[in-house]
Structures are given as structure tokens and as C-alpha cells.
Structure 1
């Protein structure tokens, strides 16, 4: 029974009780009224009073519960704006885990607006925090473009001229002709799970928010890195990987060793991309290069990677083959339409705060990148293993 229905029923019984009491008063002074009739009115009055008290008890309990929810919905009385945001995040997490609605006052405190109808990847403030500085690093974050725009469509190059032969790099011109001069971002769903134990859930707002945000940050960064450097991309995610040889098909430049392959790849880039090019590679591969180049000379070990290879180097174990290029042409976009859910890990009993989001990674120009490969005399390519920072190799025959 709702609070409104309880109020209506209480009002009805209160009215009947008032009529009974009035009738008792009138008949009590009338000598013609029998004692039995007065006793009956007293019984009716006692019955109505008992019913009213029972309804009032239910009404007061339900009203107190709703008031408590309203107080909980306010989530913060702090004067510090930062603390209010932290309290709002904590309320969002707790409400989700309790399978309760996330009130408009919570979203408003987090910077969400009415136009999104609560459908953004995350409320604005939370999205900003989660998309920045994750514990698990995705080095592309500092080099790629990252946006949060629904149905994004952008030109592959940022300017045009009045003639059609201004593109000096013929590979870029061919790519634009073959694939078109615009990029349209799609929606690819993924979920991030943040484990929340009972002790964390019942702890301070600051600790709860920190725990969940760190997990979500790491999950988002790991997903970005995984799809961008996937050797065998999932179906539908092929276009997100630098190594895809069908849709993306970045040019592969070879050398008799990895050092020469990287040097050749840098030289093969057109100057428009070479100027801002960076090298993404595994640290173990770099150590192998240093070991060969140093030849017993310890001085080279203290040199900066950029001094050795000629371009800034970013280390990531995900880059199984060095990727060289202008990484501003790598673009991540997060679309709207996220969901907050909760689940439970039955093995550990830990509550899971789940965010479902949609994003896309587009390599806007494959011609802005090169992949360095080592080629042997028999035409096979060589990949340095990650188990030892030596010249141990695994050879696969090209198809």
C-alpha cells in the first residue's frame, strides 16, 4: 500500500471515528437510548480507534523510510565543492549497487545535463576522471586524440585547397581516393567491472570513489590498448588495430635487423608525418637493439632512446612489432548511451559495479604509420620474443 493510499484510508476511518464519538455524545444524554446501544457504540469506537492506530503505524514507518531516501538523495551537506563531487560519486555507486535509481540531483552534481537524459557514457565529471590518468597505462592516451561525441564524423585531413593535387604524399592521396576523405565512428560495446567489497562499500566516500574509479580507469585504458595493438582482432574490431592487414593495412617496412627496420620505416614516412612521428615498441626489443649496437660499449646504455633511434620512443609490451607514425591520426571516441549495473562475483562474494559503454578507435590515415619488421634471407619475418631481452627470435614464413 502506498503512502497516499494509507493517508486516504486514515482520513476515512478518522471521519467515521469522529461521527461515532459525536453520536455517542448525543445518545449518552438521551434517556430513551438503551445501555446496550451505548455499549455497541463504544465497541465500534474502540474498533475504529484500533484500525486507525494500525494504519498510522504503517503510515509513519513508510513516511520515515521515504524521508530517509530523500535525505540520502541529497547525498552531501559539505561546503567543499570537491567533497560534494566525491559524495555524489559515492551516492551514484551505492545507489547502483543497491539497484536504486540515480536521482537527478546526483547527476546534476556530477555535471550531467538534462539533454542527455542520463544517457551519457558517464556524467560529465565522472567521465573526465575515468578517461584520464588510469593505473593501467595506455600510452596512446598521451598521443592519440580522445573525444566523447555521439555520431562523430570528421575529415581525415584537417584542411583542403582549391586544387585536387595538393597532397604531396601519393600514398595518402591513393588512400583518400580508395577509402574516402571522412571517418565515421561507430558504437562498439564493452563492459568494465569494478569489484567493491563490503568493507569498502561501508567505508568512507573518498575510499569508495577512489577504489571504483581506479578500477574503471584501468579497465578503460586496458581495453583501448588491447584493441589498438591486437594481432588477431575480434570480429568487427579489425579496423581498430594497427596490425590489421585487411581494413587498415599499414605499410610494413623491413630491415635485416630491428634497428635498420625502424630506421627504414622512419625514412619511408612522408615528411608531413615524419616530423611528428613517434615509435611505439616493446622495451625488450629496445634492449636487444642496444645490446647489438653497444658491442661492449657501456656508453650507449645511458643514451636516451630518441638519441639512438632518431625519434621519441614510447614503450609498451602490446606493440609486438614497432609501430612508427604520427599518432594524432589515432582517434578514440566514446559515444553516449552507457548503463550502470550491478552484479556479484559468486566465487568471492564481491559486489561488482559495472559500466557498459560504447566506443570506437579509428586509424584516420594508415599512410601516417609504418610497421617495422625484420626480414631474413629466406623472406621470412622475425619477431623478438618477450621472454628474454636478447636476440632470441621466432621465425614465421610470410604467406
Structure 2
């Protein structure tokens, strides 16, 4: 380093606010440390030369002051360098340790989910420690398995956006097969409901769940992808939950089901749920409740649109405002669940409606060319079975001649 450069550096250091070192990178601090070390060594050599050549006391004192100033700055920069180096090493060590460096179990799950999403979006393999943190089963090889924690949060959590949740059964079991009745006796004559007895004789006493593929897309912008783990996970999970809920409602209330999905709809002729009619919807619903066998009537609920219920109230009230404040159960005699998809009221014991998700979900990525937004895609397999059509009735109106 030339004499002019040393002089410029010394002038800069004399006016230096030492707090500025906190904003420097490790490499910048290293270069400053080397430069200051060289400058400090040069001043010491100059002081020794002055003393050897008979310099005056004033000259020696001035040089000594320069040496002390340089030494102080070198020590400050060296200490800051050591601090930043230690922090950097600790950060790298935590990154290498991955999820093992996170002590909070909840935060570990959030970080694991975020890593799974980012790995999928960037086309990278999902590390085994991420899958382990999410409850993956090593025996599956991790190829087509939706980690248990993600499965629970996306599939198994009750969803307010799907009115069937909390009333229908929901499981996440591969190759599920269930008895249609929860109990049996050694004498089949115990089945008092003759419709149920005929149904069991015709269709068997067990129900097997199939695998019907569907995809859920969650749009993820680059800003969200590079944001915090918590925001990324919340954004993707909310989108996936909404997609799963929408698919469940669509197949369960479809009036014209897609090919292969006929058995999943309450309104499908394939299920053949009995239709009970009345002169208006109020009478039809009352007749449907009465038509259910007592085994199902006790736990029956009514799924209907809010518009239909409003029409019933308006007709029954006939100017009496008190009826508008009554609970739907007080009006119709059974708990009411509002669902826009229930275009004809469905009455029955909804524990005999069952959704099952098979393991085997795939994570993929796609891109919406129109918007440029990347899509986090989950391909899943599920089935909806109405275990006993005898447990349900559809209320319909027949115009009187």
C-alpha cells in the first residue's frame, strides 16, 4: 500500500463512527482488519526508525499517538470481525443442522411444511428429515406419501366452508372397508326397518371405498415463496383447505354428477335415495322426517338452502314476526344445516355419509401462463360413500292438480 493510500485510510479512520462496523459484511471486516493491521505495523516501524535516528521528543510523542490510534482501531475492527465470524459460523451450523436446530415442536412443523413447499416449487427432492418431522412413514419410500401432519391439517381438520364437515364421517385410511351398520346380532330379524334389511340383502353388509383422483391448486407468488415460513404455510394450507372443501361439496350435492362420481352424490339415481313429496317444502320436509325409521330419525338433520328456509318462514309466519326469530330446529323439528348445494332438502342421519382420503398424494408444481403465478399442486385420491341410502330422504314438492 502506498504512502498516499495509508494517509487516506488514516484520515478516514480518524472520522470513523465505530457503530458502522455493525453493518459491514464479514468479508468487508476482514479486508478492513488486514488493512488496519498493515497500517498499524507500518506506524510502529516508523516510530522505531524515528527513535533510532535521534528524533525529538515532540516527534516521538506525535508518532506514538498515531500508533495508539491505529492500535485502537485495529482492536475494535478485530473484535467486530471475531463477533460476526462467530455469528456466521453459528448460522451456517444451524442451517446444516436443519430442523434439528429448532427446539420448538410447533415451529419445527411449520418450518418443515415450508421446506416441503419450497422444495416442490423449486423441483428439489424433499429431505428425509423434513418428511420425518411431518410424520412420514419410511416404509413408503417417501415417493407418493402425503406426510401425516400435512394430511391432518389439510384433510382432517373440520372446514367451515364445507357444511358436511362435522356431520359426515371423514377418514384418511387406505383401502378402507367398513360395515354398513355399526353393530349386528346373530339374528337378522332384529333389523326393524324393512328398507334397510332389503338394502343389506341387495348390496351386502359392507362398503368399500375407491380412489377418485382430483387436483387442488394453490397459487404462490415469488414474494410469498421467499417470505416467512409461517406466512407461506398459512397461504398454501388455506388455499388447499378451500379446494378440498369445494371438491367435497361439489361431488356430494351434484345434480348431474360426472362419470365415475355418480355414487358420491345424494341426488344420483345410482344411489336411489327415496324421494318424499308434499304440497310445499315445509310439508315435504315434515313428511320426509316422518318417513325415516326411528333408528335414523333420532339423529336426523336437515340440509337445505337458506332461500328455501326463508320461503318456509315467510309462508308460515303470515305476518307474525315472532316466527322469524325462532331457531330452525323449533320450526322444522330437526337441526338444520344450510348448504347452497342442497337444492332439494336432504333429511337423514349424516353419520352414514362418509368421506375417505387414500394415501398416495403427489406434490407437483405448475405455472399459470396467463398470470405468471406458480402453482403448488396436490393430487389426491378420495371417495364419498353413502353407506345406507335408507338413512336418508329427499324432500320434494309435487304440485297439486
Q: Normalising to structure 1: TM-score of the pair? A: 0.75
Q: Give distance in 2, aligned partners of 1:296 and 1:76.
A: 68
* 2:280 aligned with 1:257: yes
Residues 104-134 of structure 1 deviation map (CA, whole Å, 9 limit, x = unaligned): 1101001112133325652111111112457
* 2:316 aligned with 1:316: no
More helix by proportion, 1 or 2?
A: 2
The residue aligned with 1:213 is 237
Measured after TM superposition, the shift of residue 136 of structure 1 is 6.2
Residues 37-63 of structure 1 deviation map (CA, whole Å, 9 limit, x = unaligned): xxxxxxxxxxxxxxxxxxxxxxxxxxx
Measured after TM superposition, the shift of residue 148 of structure 1 is 0.8
The residue aligned with 2:379 is 356
* 2:370 aligned with 1:368: no
The residue aligned with 1:231 is 255
Cα RMSD, aligned residues only: 1.9
Contact 2:156 2:171 in 1 (8 A): no
Q: Give distance in 2, aligned partners of 1:262 and 1:132.
A: 31
> Which residue of 202, 205, 214 corresponds with 1:181?
205
The residue aligned with 1:116 is 140
Q: Give distance in 2, aligned partners of 1:163 and 1:81.
A: 52
In the alignment, structure 2 segments of 5+ residues that lack a partner are 1-91
The residue aligned with 2:361 is 338
What is the DSSP-based 3-state SS (H/G/I as helix, E as strand, rest coil) of the residue aligned with 2:374?
strand
Q: Give distance in 2, aligned partners of 1:162 and 1:203.
A: 61
In the alignment, structure 1 segments of 5+ residues that lack a partner are 1-67, 379-399
The residue aligned with 1:200 is 224
What is the DSSP-based 3-state SS (H/G/I as helix, E as strand, rest coil) of the residue aligned with 1:141?
coil
The residue aligned with 2:328 is 305
> Which residue of 301, 304, 317 corresponds with 1:281?
304
Question: Number of matched residues?
Answer: 311
Q: Give distance in 1, aligned partners of 2:151 and 2:321.
A: 46
Measured after TM superposition, the shift of residue 338 of structure 1 is 1.1
* 2:400 aligned with 1:377: yes
Kindly tell me: are residues 72 and 338 of structure 1, through their superposed partners in 2, closer, same or farther at Cα, counting changes over 3 Å? Answer: farther
Kindly tell me: are residues 374 and 99 of structure 1, through their superposed partners in 2, closer, same or farther at Cα, counting changes over 3 Å? Answer: same
Kindly tell me: are residues 337 and 354 of structure 1, through their superposed partners in 2, closer, same or farther at Cα, counting changes over 3 Å? Answer: same
Report the more deviating stretch, 113-122 or 168-177.
113-122
The residue aligned with 2:56 is none
Kindly tell me: are residues 84 and 278 of structure 1, through their superposed partners in 2, closer, same or farther at Cα, counting changes over 3 Å? Answer: same
> Which residue of 267, 284, 288 corresponds with 2:290?
267
Contact 1:294 1:301 in 2 (8 A): yes
- Structure 1 stretches of 4+ moved >3 Å: 70-73, 132-136
Measured after TM superposition, the shift of residue 333 of structure 1 is 0.6
* 2:265 aligned with 1:222: no
Measured after TM superposition, the shift of residue 232 of structure 1 is 0.3
Matches within 5 A, 1:123-134: 123-133=147-157
What is the DSSP-based 3-state SS (H/G/I as helix, E as strand, rest coil) of the residue aligned with 2:197?
helix
The residue aligned with 1:165 is 189
What is the DSSP-based 3-state SS (H/G/I as helix, E as strand, rest coil) of the residue aligned with 1:267?
helix
Q: Give distance in 1, aligned partners of 2:150 and 2:361.
A: 12
Report the more deviating stretch, 181-190 or 155-164.
155-164
Contact 2:158 2:165 in 1 (8 A): no
The residue aligned with 1:150 is 174
